[in-house]
Structure 1
């Protein structure tokens, strides 16, 4: 940072920030604690629905205690508890094994991070002047300290992400049977349980992530002192740890759930002509387990990674600004304050769905979920306005590579964050339009089935390609506006704006798999068409909410990736990424190819796992006498084992491709080529992700 900027920073920030650092230091952890307390409250309400068993009676059977509402047959009720136990045990078994693999990988990668960062300055152990030309310049921490704290932050991010995914899975498997039981009382009671359980995951993940990151900053600050650049560069490891776990969680969980889904549907529904989730289908338990490990644990880790990365990117960029030079803690905490205020806004929003405008009929389910997105966005707009004026100085400067420092006003940041927030809302509603049976795109795909699978596939792919248009324009507008106002800091904060309602987004996303499991349990326990009708209605809305969650994940990932790209360009001192220069252009086309390579690897992995699943399900139907008649049970554990083993084995290669490519490109071909690789992968990956997500969401509606 140049001397002029350093000299003017004190005047610019001396008494301009309205909130004192003490207030900020209290407010951020207080909001996190309130979020955790609210999650515990929602958990306690869900737990009031009893799913438990009595002692053995004279007949030797365990009976489940039924609360009021009908269904007096204890043997039927007992099936609900047994099925829930099987799903929970399968999910725990998979995640436990997966996390052992991850522990080994994360331990190795933690060492690599320490080795690479420490070797930049030959593992220097002495504090050195940050600016040798300044007579009394501040001192910068030694490279070995930055490397060590970065590795520690990486481990913290990985552990927090792992815990978030695991808690989300446990909550979902705890609430699925309770949703089924509440369907006896009506659609409103069942919706309330599923949504409250989803909100438990949403608030725990957001609040825990914020609290751990904030405490890490305070803890690291005790060592780094006035070296805020070193402090926040070390903290950036937290985001990398979270996104690394998300990578393996999404890949492993996705392979698991799709392998089980294909095996269950192809053999059960198509070949044997039995209903979805029929208890005679050997893959049905694995299919329900997959909903939890893929769409709950995987999605939770995915969105946590986006939150952690965007927050850390904003902190790193702001540490190089006049706010960092003046060491204004309140201004530097602006990214954390956005999340803190978002927790409060999402609590109010959740109360609207659960206590104010309660769902009373099937047709009210989807409107209630869509209102959650709108209400949280409106509330958060006012929250962003308040935080922008209270936490930030009226003016501050941001470093822009190869250009003069950019002067940013606090109201600029309101528009940056709000642009991301409302772009996310647009993406959510567009996703809902292309994946809901209420609108023409999905109906057109369904109508195409009249002439066979080929036309269905053509219409589905066309829907996905068309669905890319509006989200890309929304992202482009948010990027243009935020960069024009505040350079890369604006883009990082726009990503935070899109994720500021993360608790609500996760609640409606987790609601989907919980409702899906509830429908499966109702079918397997043979609870009758009346209950199945209610759970099917919940599941139908859940398919759309799951697609909306993926839309938010993709949009936020695009903005986060661009912010991180900007941070990389700044730190690598690349003045301009010239796409027609040979090195950058080669990196660009290779980077654009990477999402296709990654997708090919994961799709082949799903195919191999699905083949093994199909063969096993066919074997059981053909060799187990009495299976089709329902007089004997299938071997559920064998199918769970197939999905577990295949997903864990097949997730390694795609994960290594993502983790090692930047290291190899940068080490062997230089920082300019790596910039091209990152830019190409970002642009290509966004289009591909939106298209595939919405095509899959439409097909899920079509055949559900």
Structure 2
């Protein structure tokens, strides 16, 4: 079969994913909902999310237009020196990447803000219907994100026949994801921290008490951060893994491009099958149901790709490299689960330490967060080493291609991973709606169980996405070398085979690259800090000035829109600087030290970024579930000193796990793509 056949096959599977997403959307929409109070609050959440997304996308559209003009003028070569058609193709591909990433986020928000209401109402019938409603709502996002990414990559290949153009598409997806994740993360944690500190710690009122002016903004934040933001993040990772694999596959020739497209399409098909089969068992364990659906999808993918490898005579060594990545991804998810699940020792030890005060909550949580780095880093190292060694005998270039296919394998079931991830904020919202709609303690208990599973799964998916980003950017380092060597051959210059860290240029880049994730994280968390302080002041004003609000007198409502406005304005203001800093630092290092300095820069950025991302995501998830474990009646329960300390820990962990941590892997991907796209410029323009 020729390449066009596999490109068309990928398009067909992507369209099938959209059709399945449409069916799931209609199924969720048809679920009953009759509670007027829940409908009113759900409407406020939907309106707030839509307003934020509109403002964020307006800002990002302007940014994307400016970048597209710069790409048109300078990439892959200055337009006055090279082929203008290549520059136009790259700019159009970039804009297509941003547009499809934004569309996937918009679809996710649309269904999540309906599924939260439906899931809360379904909880009146029991945990099984509530679970299925929440999961299928999340699955719409999963199918839409992966369908859009596969469709975009396949069409770029089909129309241009140029794997390098996929890098432009990937850069569009990554740059939007970087700012969407940062903006959504700042919004959601501004509201979450403010609501918790004033509501739980100061006043001792419940988490989703409608008297709290920040409670609607908090629920809006779950959607813009964990649905739209995380969806854009995994869209970016999936596209980047395919871009890196396709660039190297094209340079190697043969049937390698066909293999990449076939394996990616079968991953989406396996996710469709896994989502369709997802059910909760007799024991009513939502975490078990989510994990089993992941294992089912993994098994289906292994079988489908093995059949395809045999039928189309693909290289079995590359298949093994792909499956290594997939299995390591599952193992990393299990390791993350150990450190963040409230049924395991780390969370319980932190909850117990909270009885001695918030300092011990922070110390124990940070320690376990640091310990949690090791399994994931070892997993990434083992996956890359095995993929490299398995593929090395195939010839020059195949070792790095093996690593890129390992990343494709790890991200092959990303449709299921996103479905699990988007389930989290949907049931979190459902829990809040159940409390505000006064549906009773039995319903609250069900939604608490669903929410706890959602938190654990969110932690697992964050660990998975960070690990996948790690393998992807190692593959992108290979793609960078391929692009440099192609440009060097055209310009009559010497190419590169590797990076010697004793070389002062490489070492210079290494040090700068390692520092970027720390600065990037600090900028995002300071943005949350500044914004949350403004919102806390607004909550205090409302409790002091609105008569009867604190007492909960009938008919007295807080001004929810004021808090939503503070979160929106602050997030839009803070989202551009951190991402721009990372991009400009990459360009500066390239201009100063050339391609060797960039090689070091990427290496330092990858290692440092993975450590920071894993530490912050896992410790944040651990603190969150330690708080929920105490709230379930353990170690003193709600209102105890342990509870107040655990809330403080969760407040520190919020920007760790939902703002900075998961944004770092997108930052690593963005700078890797900038390096690949500008490789020819760095070869010709560098001070040293």
TM over 0.5: yes
Whole-Å Cα distance in 2 between the matches of residues 586 and 346 of structure 1? 43
Deviation at 1:577, TM superposition (A): 0.5
Counterpart among 29, 45, 48 of residue 90 in structure 1: 48
Deviation at 1:36, TM superposition (A): 1.5
Contact persistence 1:179–1:190 (CA under 8 A):
yes
**Secondary structure of 2:75's aligned partner:** helix
What TM-score comes out, normalization by structure 1 length? 0.85
Partner residue in 2 for 1:431: 336
Superposed counterparts of 1:626-665, under 5 Å:
626-631=548-553, 632-665=556-589
Deviation at 1:390, TM superposition (A): 3.7
Bigger helix share = 2
Pair 1:210-2:150 in alignment: yes
Partner residue in 1 for 2:459: 547
Partner residue in 1 for 2:634: none
Contact persistence 2:251–2:482 (CA under 8 A):
no
Contact persistence 1:191–1:359 (CA under 8 A):
no
Whole-Å Cα distance in 1 between the matches of residues 62 and 312 of structure 2? 41
Pair 1:191-2:103 in alignment: no
Pair 1:604-2:535 in alignment: no
What TM-score comes out, normalization by structure 2 length? 0.87
**Secondary structure of 1:651's aligned partner:** helix
**Secondary structure of 2:405's aligned partner:** helix
Pair 1:701-2:606 in alignment: no
Task: Give CA deviations for 1:54-90 in whole Å, capped at 9, x if unaligned.
Answer: xxxxxxxxxxxx3xxxxxxxxxx21111000000000
Pair 1:40-2:2 in alignment: no
Superposed counterparts of 1:665-704, under 5 Å:
665-704=589-628
Whole-Å Cα distance in 1 between the matches of residues 47 and 475 of structure 2? 40
Partner residue in 2 for 1:133: none
Deviation at 1:664, TM superposition (A): 1.7
**Secondary structure of 1:626's aligned partner:** coil
Whole-Å Cα distance in 1 between the matches of residues 522 and 253 of structure 2? 45
Whole-Å Cα distance in 1 between the matches of residues 5 and 59 of structure 2? 42
* Bigger Cα displacement from structure 2, 678-687 vs 200-209: 200-209
Deviation at 1:294, TM superposition (A): 0.3
Pair 1:625-2:547 in alignment: yes
Whole-Å Cα distance in 1 between the matches of residues 567 and 253 of structure 2? 52
Whole-Å Cα distance in 2 between the matches of residues 644 and 341 of structure 1? 39
Counterpart among 203, 206, 212 of residue 272 in structure 1: 203
Whole-Å Cα distance in 2 between the matches of residues 439 and 477 of structure 1? 25
Partner residue in 1 for 2:374: 469
Whole-Å Cα distance in 2 between the matches of residues 119 and 36 of structure 1? 36
Pair 1:24-2:10 in alignment: no
Counterpart among 448, 459, 465 of residue 364 in structure 2: 459
Structure 1, unmatched stretches of 5+, are 1-18, 52-65, 67-76, 125-141, 222-230, 394-409
Deviation at 1:338, TM superposition (A): 1.4
Partner residue in 2 for 1:283: 214
Whole-Å Cα distance in 2 between the matches of residues 376 and 506 of structure 1? 13
Contact persistence 2:4–2:158 (CA under 8 A):
no
Counterpart among 178, 202, 205 of residue 247 in structure 1: 178
Q: Who wins on radius of gyration, i.e. which is larger? A: 1
Pair 1:498-2:456 in alignment: no
Deviation at 1:333, TM superposition (A): 2.5
Counterpart among 62, 65, 69 of residue 111 in structure 1: 69
Deviation at 1:148, TM superposition (A): 1.2
Superposed counterparts of 1:221-240, under 5 Å:
221=161, 231-240=162-171
* Bigger Cα displacement from structure 2, 160-169 vs 669-678: 669-678
Partner residue in 2 for 1:536: 448
Whole-Å Cα distance in 1 between the matches of residues 94 and 4 of structure 2? 28
Task: Give CA deviations for 1:649-697 in whole Å, capped at 9, x if unaligned.
Answer: 0111101012222112112321111111111000111011111101000
**Secondary structure of 1:374's aligned partner:** helix
Deviation at 1:386, TM superposition (A): 2.5
Task: Give CA deviations for 1:567-623 in whole Å, capped at 9, x if unaligned.
Answer: 112322322201011111111011111110111111111100110111111111111
Pair 1:593-2:518 in alignment: no
**Secondary structure of 2:129's aligned partner:** helix
Superposed counterparts of 1:53-452, under 5 Å:
66=34, 77-117=35-75, 119-120=77-78, 122-124=80-82, 142=83, 144-221=84-161, 231-323=162-254, 331-354=256-279, 358-362=280-284, 364-391=285-312, 393=314, 410-452=315-357
**Secondary structure of 2:612's aligned partner:** helix
State how many pairs are aligned. Answer: 609
Whole-Å Cα distance in 1 between the matches of residues 6 and 578 of structure 2? 41
Contact persistence 2:73–2:79 (CA under 8 A):
no
Deviation at 1:391, TM superposition (A): 4.1
Whole-Å Cα distance in 1 between the matches of residues 621 and 355 of structure 2? 20
Pair 1:576-2:506 in alignment: no
Whole-Å Cα distance in 1 between the matches of residues 260 and 105 of structure 2? 23
Whole-Å Cα distance in 2 between the matches of residues 322 and 31 of structure 1? 24
Contact persistence 1:495–1:556 (CA under 8 A):
yes
